[in-house]
Chain A
């Protein structure tokens, strides 16, 4: 993994309930750097996170909401969290149930700024 991203991803994955974190090239939906637990499919996570971010960005743009700075997909068995950084990179985390979402959100927003 690129040394630039390793500390950032390791800090995220140390948080309770986080099953994986990665930096993704949003344009292509490809992995730039990842730190994943077993069973988490990196290519799928990168592709879906990028695709969903693309849709949300388009919606946000059409509705005049401004540039999205955070996305949270909540599902019955876990969450997907995305924090776009500048340029083409997005920070992605996938979490199980019962995670400190507020803390996670703050951490991701801070880290996305560092990526920018």
Chain B
């Protein structure tokens, strides 16, 4: 591990809510550690779903993984949030060029070049796509037509797995196997955000549940229900490498909690399929 990645990782571990994830994700991506870069990017997106640079990082990692369709959606989101984002114009321009659509590529690359006239590499790219230097004297090509959007098309809330579900922000928490939050959030009875505290221990708790079921020869565990004095929670694994916690006030019938959790798990699985 290079010194910069080590130092950035330490900063990120010390304060997962800081923006250092942008530099860490980019450093990992440049070293070719795409799985780790993706985890960092997703973690950052979950915390900052409206940050253009977070979607930009995500798109760059996706491009390196050759997931061009999802990368396009991510850069599309960036431009919705910030129409003059240079990185997004460059990225989409590259994707259009890769897809054999040079006119659309030229539109974005020229826009990027106008936003950053000092970038000589960008100017060279424009000239290569255009096939000559004369491009600078011509009018900007037409903008590509807006893409047909489906529900998945990297909306502003594209980082949230529980959109539309009650309790999406304070009663449903999704974490990866390292205890890093992927989406949702958890609030205590006093309204305080306890997402990070809960996330840190959630993955370990579900692993212990799995171990208990195995050692006691109970088969595969399906869910763990915990009744607290003030809140009830149901823990389960939507996928083998994620854990979910669904919470309800203690006054609700115990049977409803597992239904709520199953519904949330279904939404989480659908979201994970999209973002992966």
Contacts and interface: CB of A to CB of B under 8 A. Distances in A.
A–B touch (CB < 8 A): the answer is: yes
Interface of A: 41, 44-45, 48-49, 51-52, 55-56, 58-60, 62-80, 94, 105
- B interface, over-half SS: mixed
B231 A68 contact: no
Contact residues on B (Cβ < 8 Å of other chain), bracket: 35 or more
Contacts, number: 124
A73 B209 contact: yes
Interface stretch (B12-20, B131-139, B143-151, B211-219): B211-219
B27 interface: no
B243 to A, nearest CB: 11
A64 B194 contact: yes
Contacts of A73: 209, 212-213, 218, 221, 224
Contact of B217 (A60, A71, A77): A77
Contact of A60 (B190, B209, B216, B226): B226
A64 B192 contact: yes
17 contacts: A44-B216, A48-B216, A49-B212, A52-B224, A55-B204, A55-B205, A58-B201, A58-B205, A63-B194, A64-B188, A64-B189, A66-B230, A69-B228, A71-B226, A76-B221, A80-B218, A94-B218
Contact of B222 (A60, A74, A105): A74
B37 interface: no
Nearest to B186: A63
A103 to B, nearest CB: 13
Contact of A59 (B198, B213, B220): B198
B132 to A, nearest CB: 63
A100 B205 CA distance: 26
Contact of A72 (B204, B225, B230): B225
A27 B229 CA distance: 21
Given A56-B224, A71-B225, A63 B231 contact: yes
B201 A64 contact: no
Contacts of A55: 201, 204-205, 208
Contacts of A80: 212-213, 216, 218
Given A78-B218, A80-B218, A62 B213 contact: no
A75 B220 contact: yes
B168 interface: no
Q: Tell which of A44, A58, A71, A75 has the most Cβ of chain B within 10 Å.
A: A75
Contact of A44 (B215, B227, B233): B215
